[in-house]
Amino acid sequence: MIPGIRTSLSCWGRFHPAECRLIEPESRMKLAALFCDHAASGVIARGMGRSYGDSSVSGEGTVIGQTYLNRFLSFDPQHGIIHCEAGVTLEDIIKVSLPHGWFLPTTPGTKYVSVGGAIAADVHGKNHHVDGSFGNWVKGVTLILADGSIMECSPSKNPDVFWATVGGMGLTGFIRDARIQLRRVESSYYSVRYHRCRNLEAVLSMLASTEQQYRYSVGWIDCLSRGSGLGRSVLMLANNTGARALTSSLRSDPFRVRASARLPSVPFDFPDWVLNPFSVNLFNQAYYFKQRDREEIVPYDSFFYPLDGISSWNRIYGKRGFIQYQALFPDKTAQTGLRKILETVSSHGAASFLAVIKRCGEANLAPLSYIHRGYTLALDIPNLGAQLMPLIKSLDEILLEHQGRLYLAKDSMMDAKTFAAMYPRREEFLNIKKQIDPECFFISDQARRVGLCF
Amino acid sequence: MKTMNLPCVILGSLSGIAREIADQLVRKGTPLVLVARSAEELEIQASDLKIRYGITVETIAADASELDRMSSLPEECARKLKGGNIGCVILCWGVMYPQGEAEKNTQLLKQTFDINLTSSALVLQAFANKMSHAGGGTIVGISSVAGDRGRGSNYLYGASKAGLSALLDGMRHRYHGTGVRVITVKPGMVNTPMTKGIVNPSSPLCASPIKVAADIVRAIETRSVQIYTPEYWRLIMAVIRNIPEQLFLKSRL
Ligand SMILES: Cc1cc2nc3c(=O)[nH]c(=O)nc-3n(C[C@H](O)[C@H](O)[C@H](O)COP(=O)(O)OP(=O)(O)OC[C@H]3O[C@@H](n4cnc5c(N)ncnc54)[C@H](O)[C@@H]3O)c2cc1C
Ligand SMILES: NC(=O)c1ccc[n+]([C@@H]2O[C@H](COP(=O)([O-])OP(=O)(O)OC[C@H]3O[C@@H](n4cnc5c(N)ncnc54)[C@H](OP(=O)(O)O)[C@@H]3O)[C@@H](O)[C@H]2O)c1
């Protein structure tokens, strides 16, 4: 048996800690040995633990950490193709590629995410309506299957397994390494237009009507405004700044990589009373009125990763943790669905610090990929104790009534029935899994909860 | 400092601490020869450093248990460097088996001394000979606080490290004034594969390999001869060394 450490693991929301056996192989040989280890069962890969619930946690099982499996294998600066182990973070990729004029094809709101996690959750960014999700940019992966054999997968080689792995939450196998197509950029800056919208209707129509004009768009919603102001937001619409539009001082170093100053951090768990509706209301009001409609050129870091400046910000929710609820509605039900979600949340006084709305484009081929055409809304909800479950249940019902769905990377509480209703291609996924992992070697607490196992 | 521009050899370059040393030295532009036993992993380490920092490093696959090969390693390194001078060698390989297992398994007991002490003496002496011939160089050996006093819970490993510390201290004495500098490094508890499951990484006494590597690189750049890393271990070990034996016997260290 390979020695591992028994440790309590949870993800970003710190909501579902569980005792796991954590193994961090230092080499390919040690990684391979794990698949011959009889003591290993209930195995799941773990990236940076930036999913919110229990996607990379396996209680009483084995978690494979990738602390040492984070090495670059090749980089082609001419075509912008990077080949790396799955433990490499998006931050690492930016550092390597941006000086050569390449950036991530799409990126979530934090750069402290691993390539494995980005593929397994098929993450999306502010440009989904134009570029689709992360999986669309993966040229191929080397997958270690449950029996220890190695399978090369790409959209043309073993495509079924490839697409099941994209968005497959680590349940098809262990992604050892991946090749990713990066995007050419003209600079590391973004020209952002800030635009205030007075209610939900205005937000949706603005996001839809600017789709062609802006590659990147996102709205920050003030969840506490009600009545005719429900959904009041600040939109940020952006494109990569062309070299010529830069001021001369920026032009001298157009591909500047910002040193990761993780300076201010939240050093301790905030007491529970800090984040009450009153303080959140103040925060949201200040945020809305501070933003005048204007245009600005900002570095990529402040545009894509505004929260990365404060490390461990999840601690402001205190020890009891929090969950994130990310709902996706198709175009035709978005307006009513989103309205009901916002109303329900605010009537529960479930203050949300952050609520983010994004436009989504076409889905890819992955059976479990979350995202398809419509709008997605993400909100933080502190752990309200006994009140939380009923609130989440009523939100889930709204989603189901409006053909909406939840994002596995953010999910902490969904049950199997709800999941099956939201993900009609679940069976198709499980059939592929049965062929390559008949004994369900790969499993997480989330998979057990939502029924992605057999 | 001049040393940093000359090539540096890292023995056991895939160790948790050595990986960080390699990273930090490459960022300073130091040419490297990486020595470790897995050719496949060495190749990955080299490609990673090349892609991150744009610097090509040399590699040699060698196993410390090939004792006969140890004395020719400096020559092998020099060949990789096309005969260039070696500025510095950093010995990072080492093994630590659970004390209880090593007591019963003679193979593990022997390995502990073969890798931590015999191979180290063979290889470092060969480097010292070569460097003193060339007129200078820096030899760094990673020993351990465990070598400062034999303790019931870990004395086999501790004895091998005590031997290594004596080797390094003696070498420093022997080559004093010749241009060959010898640095003894005594880390406390470090969060690496060696201590997985033994040391709690979130304990305040457990240092990150980044910190330890930075201390080692600084020692090479400055005039240090013997460092504890983190530095507070100097105090802790002074206390532990001075506990009277009768009292010590009753403790469970
Ligand atoms: C502040 C913040 C903002 C975010 N913004 C966005 C956003 O805008 N858009 C978005 O889509 N997501 C967003 N996320 C969610 C995040 O991008 C995803 O949860 C992502 O999967 C996290 O990656 P990770 O490396 O932390 O992996 P983990 O959270 O550790 O794991 C996530 C999943 O990946 C699997 N996995 C990891 N490595 C491998 C591997 N080598 N092989 C197979 N499976 C593997 C795990 O098993 C698990 O199922 C955000 C998260 C945070 C904290
Ligand atoms: N971690 C601590 O708390 C601590 C404290 C004090 C001192 N130290 C010392 O610091 C040094 C570095 O250790 P670490 O903490 O970085 O641990 P580590 O990651 O376990 O490194 C040990 C290294 O030694 C190598 N090795 C073992 N047997 C070998 C052999 N026969 N031939 C070649 N290489 C061999 C291993 O190579 P493979 O990768 O091929 O297995 C591994 O890379 C060691 O000397 C250790 O004793 C560590």
Instruction: With beta carbons less than 8 A apart as the criterion, state whether A291 and A196 touch.
Output: yes
Identify which of A26, A73, A74 has the shortest CB distance to residue B193: A26
CA of residue B93 to ligand 2 center, whole Å: 4
Task: List Cβ neighbours of B168 (8 Å cut-off, separation of 6 or more).
Answer: B124, B139, B141, B143, B182, B183, B184
Which of A324, A325, A236, A233 minimizes the C-alpha distance to A285? A233
d(CA A429, CA A156) in angstroms, rounded, equals: 18
Indicate yes or no: CB of A71 within 8 angstroms of CB of B48: yes
CB spacing of B197 vs A24 below 8 angstroms: no
Cβ of A182 less than 6 Å from ligand 1:
no
pTM of the model: 0.95
Q: What's the confidence (pLDDT) of residue A270?
A: 62
- The more confident residue out of B41 and B223 is B41
Q: What is the pLDDT of residue B122?
A: 98
Q: Is B10 left (phi over 0), alpha (psi -120 to 50) or beta?
A: beta
In three-state secondary structure terms, B156 is: helix
Query: Which residues partner with A322 through β-bridges?
Result: A382
Whether residue A58 has its Cβ less than 6 Å from ligand 1: no
With an 8 Å Cβ cutoff, are B48 and A72 in contact? yes
Alpha helices in A166-276 (DSSP H): 200-209, 248-251
Strands (E), chain B: 8-11, 32-36, 58-61, 88-91, 137-142, 180-187, 189-190, 206-207, 226-229
Please, which residues bridge with residue B8 across strands? B32, B88
What is the token pair recorded at A337?
Answer: 């669905």
Distance from the A398 Cα atom to the nearest Cα atom in chain B, whole angstroms: 42
Residue A95 C-alpha, separation from nearest chain B C-alpha, in angstroms = 8
Sign of CA dihedral A227, A228, A231, A232: negative
Contact B16 A72 (CB under 8 A): no
Mean pLDDT on B75-85? 92
Q: Are A54 and A92 in contact (CB under 8 A)?
A: no
* Contact flag A24-B193 (C-beta cutoff 8 Å): yes
Cβ–Cβ of A4/B197 closer than 8 Å?
yes
How much is the pLDDT for A294? 86
**CA–CA distance, A441 with A173 (Å, rounded to integer):** 9
* Residue B11 Cα to ligand 2 middle (Å): 10
Which atom of ligand 1 approaches the CA of A133 most closely? 11
- Flag whether residue B63 sits within 8 Å of chain A, measured between CB atoms: no
Q: Fold for domain B3-250?
A: Rossmann fold (3.40.50)
CB B66: neighbour CB atoms within 10 A?
11
* Helix, coil or strand: residue A181: strand
Q: State CA A124 to chain mean position distance.
A: 7
- Separation of first and last alpha carbons in chain A: 25
Of the candidates A3, A28, A68, the beta carbon closest to that of B197 is on A3
Q: Which amino acid residue places its CA nearest to atom 39 of ligand 2?
A: B14
Q: Looking at beta carbons, which residues of chain B come within 8 Å of A74? A: 47, 51
End-to-end CA distance of chain B: 40
Within 6 Å (CB) of ligand 2, which residues are found?
Answer: A 26; B 12, 14-17, 36-38, 63-65, 92-96, 115, 142, 144, 187, 189-190, 192-195
Q: Tell me the shortest Cα–Cα distance from B246 to chain A, in angstroms.
A: 35
Q: Which residues of chain A have pLDDT under 50?
A: 262-263
Residue in B with minimal Cα distance to A72: B48
What does the H/E/C string look like for B52-83? HHCCCCEEEECCCCCHHHHCCHHHHHHHHCCC
For residue B68, pLDDT over 90 is answered with yes
Neighbours of A434 (CB within 10 A): 12
Q: Nearest ligand, CA of residue B200? A: 2
List CB contacts (< 8 A) between A28 and chain B. Answer: 40-41, 44
A3 touches chain B (CB under 8 A): yes
**What are the angstrom distances between the C-alpha of A174 and each of A11, A23, A167, A436, B82?**
19, 13, 13, 12, 41
The Cα A202–Cα B241 span in angstroms is 73
| Domains of chain A from N-terminus onward | 72-185 (3.30.465.10), 190-414 (3.30.70.2520)
Inform me whether the C-beta atom of residue A26 falls under 8 Å from chain B C-beta atoms: yes
| Contact between chains at B193 and A73 (C-beta distance less than 8 A) | no
- Interchain CB contact of B44 with A (< 8 Å): yes
A116 close to B (CB below 8 A)? no
Integer Cα distance of A71 and B149 in angstroms: 38
CA–CA distance, A117 with A135 (Å, rounded to integer): 11
Distance in Å, CA B152 to ligand 2 centroid? 21
B37, exposed or middle or buried, with CB in 10 Å at 0-12, 13-18, 19+? middle
Asked whether A167 lines ligand 1 (CB < 6 A), one says no
Q: What is the mean pLDDT of residues B28-47?
A: 97
pLDDT category at B1 given cuts 50, 70, 90 is: very low
Is the ipTM of this structure higher than 0.95?
A: no
Q: Assess whether pLDDT exceeds 70 at residue B247.
A: yes
Considering only CB atoms, B40 lies closest to which of A3, A26, A28, namely: A28
Q: Does residue A286 or residue B143 have the better pLDDT?
A: B143
Cβ contacts of residue A308 below 8 Å, gap of 6+? A110, A111, A112, A260, A262, A301
Interface of B with A in 114-173 (CB under 8 A): none
